[in-house]
Amino acid sequence: MRFCALATIMILAWASPAQVAPAALSATLAPSAIRQGRVATLTILASVPVSRLTVRFAGRSWPLYRETNGAWRTILGTDPTTSAGRHTITVEALTPAGARLAVRRTLTVLRVVFPERRITFDPERQALLTREAVEREQRRVNAALRVLHGERLWEEPFNQPVAGKVSSPYGVLSIYQGVTRGFHAGTDFPVPEGTPVQAANHGIIRLAEALPLSGNAVLIDHGMGVVTSYLHLSAINATVGQRARKGDVIGAVGSTGLATGPNLHWGLRVSTVRVDPMPWTRQ
């Protein structure tokens, strides 16, 4: 996935008590319109020292990562629950002298009509789907991803972790046993049991264990809030803290956890928002 600069906006606001030169804060957003499930990159430059810098988009704050050229960058993610329409991105900075600076940018989110999928599990698998299991798994994932690498580790593009066609794409509305369970937060590849699973890009293994619903799972931290997940594995060939290189075998396809058969569920998070991983495999 290539991030290219499309537009830059520079605004100065609230210049008291200390006056600063116009255009002291600038922000570049690329692209300016995305489909639900896609991402946009925001790059911020300040020509004066700042003691605090915040970004708000879609009702939440977003982490900022410092680059070697002095800029800050964040990747803004959307998913099927992000409302379609024009969203204001607000960047605010405070200088050591007390001046407040602000930049505002507009990101248009385009609505996507996602299909539905209906799945019926056998009684043994269905018994796994309890509130306690969901909460236990979420606690384990949150703990594993509490501290992430602040620098970009990946290179473009990401690799598809297994060869083959997609059986269930990202964003599909999942209905289990007639009950709506939300959108499909990744992409499924129905490949034979034991097929080697490769790391989609360089990163650090943050989780490598059996989870109640995802089965044997590996999570890789690629830096700047980007994390890929590999679920339902029959075997795990990775350890927490290990540095993975793009193409390293980190496990094998299986059907552990809440799965109807051998498949790899591949997901991608951006600052906890689950986005469509497939666009990241394209230059």
pLDDT tens, residue by residue, 204-244: 999 999 999 999 999 999 999 999 999 999 999 999 999 99
Lowest mean pLDDT among 113-122, 175-184, 223-232: 175-184
| Whether 180 and 269 share a structural domain | yes
- Residue 179 located in a structural domain: yes
Average of per-residue pLDDT across 141-159: 97
Q: Mean pLDDT across the chain, nearest whole number? A: 89
Residues 76 and 160 in one domain: no
The answer to whether residue 1 sits within a structural domain is no
Query: Quick one: pLDDT band at residue 124, thresholds 50, 70, 90?
Result: confident
Q: Look at residue 51 and tell me if it is in a domain.
A: yes
Say yes or no: 75 and 122 in one domain.
no
162 and 148 part of one domain: yes
Q: What is the largest CA-CA distance in the chain?
A: 68
Domain boundary (74, 95, 110) is at 110
Domain boundary among 45, 78, 110: 110
Residue-wise pLDDT tens digits, 42-79:
999 999 999 999 999 999 999 999 998 899 999 999 99
Kindly tell me if the per-residue pLDDT of 169 is higher than 50.
yes
Over range 120-145, report the average pLDDT.
86
Q: For residue 241, give the CATH number of its domain.
A: 2.70.70.10
**SS3 of 137, please?**
helix
pLDDT-above-90 percentage for the chain? 78
Residue 40 maps to which CATH number? 2.60.40.1930
Q: Read off the pLDDT of each residue in 131-136 and give the average, rounded to a whole number.
A: 92
- Report residue 125's pLDDT band, with 50, 70 and 90 as the boundaries: confident
pLDDT band at 177 (very low <50, low <70, confident <90, very high): low
pTM beyond 0.85, yes or no: yes
* Element housing 53 (H / E): strand 52-57
pLDDT band at 3 (very low <50, low <70, confident <90, very high): very low
Number of structural domains, the chain?
2
Q: Tell me if 2 is assigned to some domain.
A: no
Residues 81 and 156 in one domain: no
Domain end (from 77, 93, 110): 110
Highest averaged pLDDT of the listed ranges 30-34, 68-72, 168-172, 260-264: 30-34
pLDDT at residue 148 is higher than 80: yes
* Per-residue confidence (pLDDT) for residue 178, from 0 to 100: 64
Residue 16 has pLDDT above 80, yes or no: no
137 and 89 within one domain: no
51 and 167: one domain?
A: no
**For residue 54, what are the domain limits?**
7-110
Is the pLDDT score of 95 beyond 90?
yes
**Are 76 and 122 part of one and the same domain?**
no
Same domain, 106 and 120: no
Region 95-103 average pLDDT: 94
Q: Is the confidence at residue 272, as pLDDT, over 70? A: yes
The answer to which of 28-32, 58-62, 67-71, 86-90 has the lowest mean pLDDT is: 67-71
Amino acid (1-letter code) at residue 265:
H
pLDDT band at 179 (very low <50, low <70, confident <90, very high): low
Indicate whether 14 and 74 sit together in one domain. Answer: yes
Q: Are residues 220 and 189 in the same domain?
A: yes
pLDDT at 231: 98
Residues 106 and 121 in one domain: no
